[in-house]
Structure 1
Amino acid sequence: MQNIENKVAYITGGSKGIGFGIAKILVENGLKVAISGRNLDDLQEAQAVLGEDNLLVFQSDVINFEDEVNSVKRVIERFGKLDVVIANAGVGKFAPVDEISLDDWNAMIATNLTGVFHTLKASVEELKKSKGYYISIASLAGTNFFAGGAGYNASKFGVVGFTQAAMLDLRKHDIKCTTIMPGSVTSNFADHVPSDSDAWKIQPSDLGEMVIHLLQMNANVLPSKIEVRPSKTS
């Protein structure tokens, strides 16, 4: 089992939902964690819960490559290295393909797909140094298409393909790459407000524990693509 204490992780979209749930579990397991997001108020609320000792919080928009370059620089300045990158930031806009707006399409491709590339591109040289781990948060929508999901499906199918190709490119540098594809998760995604009715869903902390298991695995083992569903339906 790999020792993960004092490893440094950077999580995009880490102020709430899946990103926050992963960040909380990582901090509880002794990692130093940086989280970014677009909304300063959400980031400050996350910091109030997670504490400050092993946490770095800052604004970044994954659509802008220079934001991600600066994000990695801030992580290195604070913690001195970067071992784990979790590309989690995402948006969802749902409409039939003949009705979806250009703005909504472009927002999903820019954030969900190009943003994932920006995060890896900005961090890959540091991951080479640390022989680190890159994890993208995709979705079961990255393999299962559905009506009204043309834009979201396109972005998440892209994330799955991108991460699997990156895995083949980067393993020669001893960098691991995994994409996690969750089904229904209790989160704030698409403006959802979590409630007791979400108890049957995957919890963000469940995905955090999954990340811990990945990081602890023998260096010779790589689950490159993980589909995860609730064990029961509503």
Structure 2
Amino acid sequence: MSLENKVAYITGGTKGIGFGIAEALVKAGLKVAISGRKQTDVEKAKQDLGGDNVLAIASDVRNFEDEQKAVEQIVATFGKLDIVIANAGLGKFAPIDQLSLEDWNAMIDTNLTGVFHTLKASVEQLKANKGYYISIASLAGTNFFANGAGYNASKFGVVGFTQAAMLDLREHDIKTTTIMPGSVTSHFNEHEPNEADGWKIQPEDLGQMVVDLLNLNPNVLPSKIEVRPTKTK
């Protein structure tokens, strides 16, 4: 895929992995739309990214109408949409007997249903432009762990959803990949990044991975990518 004049949309693009991907795509010369639930957050991220080729959108992926409006705004601003990166997500961790209904629903609605909403809202643009759809899953999408039942369920779902969608979308010349990171330096689960996170995958590393995917030969499709830190602490 030639990146010249391409337009990308990244959900959860205000910080962490989403911001790292947005930063890499802006540097690669793409026009980039980022979304988050709070307008103040997306406006600050837009300012930090710089340039006139960044669009800040307030959208909650749990709400399909929000995602529809986001795609409409992107097309109205940039004329089209080529690349969609479904990144928005959250984690709530507790033993299953203590996991609340609210936390379960928040994870499923955001991490899994939100990924579907983003694709559903953008798929016609991707079909028209022979685009690329990428979901950010997790190694928790194949590796279960104690206190992670809700998060595991959501990320196992994202992996299954994206791989099945890949088989559907390839018939429309749309490439589809799910990226499954391990430990990443980010604000996930209310963590504040610090020097002790140096051993982890950095958001900019995943940004470069996305750029590399977009630059691959059109005949090549890495449909599922597991990525880990080289070392553990």
The residue number in structure 1 matching 2:173 is: 174
- Offset of residue 125 of structure 1: 0.3
The residue number in structure 2 matching 1:153 is: 152
- Offset of residue 44 of structure 1: 1.9
The residue number in structure 2 matching 1:94 is: 93
What amino acid maps onto 1:32 in structure 2? K
TM-score (norm 2): 0.99
1:74-114 CA distances to partner (integer Å, 9 max, x unpaired)? 00001001110000000100001111000000000000000
What is the alpha-carbon distance in structure 2 between the residues aligned to residue 5 and residue 13 of structure 1? 24
- Structure 1 runs (4+) deviating above 3 angstroms are none
What is the alpha-carbon distance in structure 2 between the residues aligned to residue 5 and residue 193 of structure 1? 35
In structure 2, the gaps of 5 or more residues are none
What is the alpha-carbon distance in structure 2 between the residues aligned to residue 110 and residue 81 of structure 1? 27
What is the alpha-carbon distance in structure 1 between the residues aligned to residue 38 and residue 63 of structure 2? 15
Aligned to 1:92, what secondary structure does the other structure show?
Answer: coil
Aligned to 2:43, what secondary structure does the other structure show?
Answer: helix
1:171-204 CA distances to partner (integer Å, 9 max, x unpaired)? 0100011000000000000000000111110000
Identity of aligned residues (%): 73
How many residue pairs get matched? 233
Aligned to 1:199, what secondary structure does the other structure show?
Answer: helix
Aligned to 1:94, what secondary structure does the other structure show?
Answer: coil
In structure 1, the gaps of 5 or more residues are none
The reply on whether 1:202 has 2:212 as its aligned counterpart is: no
TM-score (norm 1): 0.98
- Offset of residue 39 of structure 1: 1.9
What amino acid maps onto 2:132 in structure 1? Y
- Offset of residue 41 of structure 1: 2.3
The residue number in structure 1 matching 2:125 is: 126
Q: State which drifts further: 217-226 or 42-51.
A: 42-51
What is the alpha-carbon distance in structure 1 between the residues aligned to residue 210 and residue 112 of structure 2? 21
The residue number in structure 2 matching 1:24 is: 23
The residue number in structure 2 matching 1:191 is: 190
1:220-231 paired onto structure 2 within 5 Å? 220-231=219-230
What is the alpha-carbon distance in structure 1 between the residues aligned to residue 200 and residue 59 of structure 2? 29
What is the alpha-carbon distance in structure 2 between the residues aligned to residue 48 and residue 215 of structure 1? 25
